Amino acid sequence: MKRSIKFLWLFLLCSVLGFNILLLCINAGWLGYMPKMEELENPQSATASEVFAEDGSKIGKYFLENREPVKYSEISKNVINALVATEDERFYQHSGIDAEAIGRALFGVITFNPSGGASTITQQLAKHLLEQGSRNLKTRLVEKLKEQIVAVKLEKNLTKEEILTLYLNTVPWGYNSFGIRCASKTYFNKKPIDLNVEEAAMLVGMLKGSSLFNPVKHPDRTKERRNIVLDLMAKNFKISASEAQSLKERPIVLSFSPMSDSHHDGVAPYFRQVVEQDMKIWCKSKGYNLYKDGLKIYTSLDTTMQQFAEEAVAKQMYGKTRFASASKWAQHPKTLARAVKESERYRGLKAEGMSEADIMKNFNTKTSMKVFAWNDRREKDTTISPLDSIKYMKGFVQTGFMVMDPATGEVKAWVGGINHKYFQYDHVNVNTKRQVGSTIKPLLYCLAVDNGNSPCQSISLNPVMFPGFGYYGPDKSRGAMPMKKALAYSKNNATVNILKLVGIQAFVDFLRRLGITTSNLHAYPSICLGADDISVIEMLRAYTMFPNYGINTQPIYITRIEDRNGNVLENFVPLRNEVINEVTAFKMIRMMMGTVLFGTGRRLKPGWNIKGECAGKTGTTNSESDAWFIGYTPQLLAGAWVGCDDKFIGVGLGEGARAAMPIWGEFFKKLQANEKNVYNKTDTFAMPAVMIGMDECDAVDEISLQRANAQMSVSRGMPEEEDADDGERGGYDLGNTGSGTPQDDY
């Protein structure tokens, strides 16, 4: 008996000692970061990081919360009374931890009759300041201890009024509103000091869940919650019972003016989004916080070029839609189901505990909502089921357009989509990959020329045998054609024969050398027709070797990072390496000039009055799912992709010359008309000194003829479309059935 008592006392002593040691470890920050009191008192002192364009102008900032702090004297007493009565009626009696509330909560758990939580306002404030709320039980237990330690610290160092003020300045109310000032402005267009009793009760009631008790989306539910707060105010003698009853009968009257989502507004929202993601990775590796440390991020973005790029995209993409039929959607149920589950509505309904059956019923019920519309380039009010709205939004044709200096690698313009508010998926960055079609052909031709083949040599247009794959020749052409013409007219069968000439694996290895390292390349014959998915930025990197006369340059857009005091933390320079010789590069330039002078891109120069020399390549994939144009002048390189996010919908706008090339043309038309543009100084590609005096059949024969005809009278708009050569449509379905035999539409 004595041994048992002794053991019990020993166990109790060890438990108390262990618990205190645990608290000391937590307080010392050994079990996770523990902020200093200065940080807890001044959460708004966190400094947003700023991002700058090439000319030093600020184009955006990165911050966690849209918050405007207020003083205690600027808050209505109605808000204070509602908060204390609802969240912590013993707030003025305890010192951060309410033992009575904890005991009541534990008794409720034991008796299976829960009577509310035990967290005080001070503990809730600590949770907000620590940014905690893990769903893992063990982690949450440690977090609760942290919250209690911080709560005691707050009570020791701050007055009750300061705690209430800090709490009301930090909590979220939805619609990008943090703090009572933003919430008052968002829902009632008032200052916090002017809130009446029922308005204060509604805002305090929302603290239980700003999505669940959203007065815009769920007015009835929000009113019920507001009335509970009014009853609690009456119970705690903040208002009379008769006043509470009278106020409960009143409807919720809003003056709703949501805070602006600034990340959608301003210059280059897609670009800023990509910079943000890259900076988060950099900050994690260097020990910085992007949203609090006030970093200064300098980029290569040219604001004038960015404006021209956005205007070109807006003009050429206006009204471009391709809505899939019900039968097509029926063939792709997984795509639709995934889109539903990725929607904000689905996540909100799921968080409210709604069953899958009820959620789908909700998605099939017509409701009033705002959707994007081209007629005003913003949004329109309509009545439509959420499911149909998803199909509607999926029908908008998207684009990705990027402009860079191929010599320095600096990205000058970046447009990742048609409207950042409604379509935030970026179509330029390295993680967004689409079939590239015929834009891959110049890379193959380049390898052939670099291996000693002449642009003037004859290339077969007949199908060719690939061991393990059989005969492959997807277009209907036969006979032979000079290599330079085959590229200009984008002949698929000629391209297949050139692949046979250089070897499939050699071409894959060459693409890797050009910087296409994150894409999955398949060593199949169809690789030469652009069957693989590659990003816009990777394709532009590969093309830098042409205007750079053999030098491959990595695109960069972050040039320098400084701390809040202006100290340089890191400078960035692009990777550059020679991948071909300058003679090969110049031969390819002349061949690709043929594309825009008499080949598949022949409408470019007359259609947009492009001055000087330029070269490029169009690309189109099966079913017009992807349209491309990548082109360059002596000083700039730019590429455009156009397509729907879901490939089965298809672009429906014709080949790359009709769907993508107009963006390129419109951009350079605007740029060349700008007298301040420093990239207008050189308008011809210089022949390498080593080639001067050489017998050069490699100069495309038709170029001189086309130069003579360049003065012909043409319409200022896009000339009438001619039938595309059947070789233009590349990018075939891999269709690997075990043998690796590619499939096509011919």
* pLDDT per 10-residue tile (average), the chain, 746 residues: 69 62 56 59 67 94 75 95 92 76 54 59 81 65 74 84 90 85 92 95 92 89 94 94 94 82 76 95 92 93 97 90 78 88 85 86 88 73 88 89 97 95 92 95 97 94 92 88 94 96 96 95 94 96 97 97 94 96 96 95 95 95 89 97 85 80 96 88 87 60 42 33 43 35 27
Q: What is the per-residue pLDDT for 705?
A: 39
- By three-state DSSP, how is residue 552 classified? strand
Architecture of domain 67-248: Orthogonal Bundle (1.10)
**Quick one: pLDDT at residue 66?**
60
Q: How far apart, in whole angstroms, are the C-alpha atoms of residue 705 and residue 723?
A: 22
Of 487, 473, 438, 445, the residue nearest 657 (C-alpha): 438
For residue 26, what pLDDT is reported? 55
Tokens of 251: 């409807």
Burial label for 211, CB within 10 Å (0-12, 13-18, 19+), is middle
Label each residue of 453-464 as H, E or C. Answer: CCCCCEEECCCE
pLDDT at site 331: 84
Domain boundaries, the chain: 67-248, 398-730
Matching residue, tokens 């808050």: 75
Whether the predicted model's global pTM rises above the 0.75 cut: no
Helix (H, G, I), strand (E, B) or coil at 211: coil
* Predicted pLDDT at 141: 72
Residue 386 near residue 345 (C-beta atoms within 8 A): yes
Cite the DSSP H helix spans in 534-655. Answer: 536-543, 582-597, 604-608
Name the H helices within 503-544.
504-513, 536-543
Strands 637-643 and 627-632: antiparallel
Other CB atoms within 10 A of residue 225 CB: 22
- The residue count of the chain comes to 746
Per-residue confidence (pLDDT) for residue 543, from 0 to 100: 98
Q: CA 593, CA 602: separation in Å to the nearest integer?
A: 9
Tokens of 473: 């020749």
> What per-residue confidence (pLDDT) applies to 743?
29
CATH of 398-730, one of 3.30.420.40, 3.40.710.10, 3.30.70.870, 3.20.20.10: 3.40.710.10
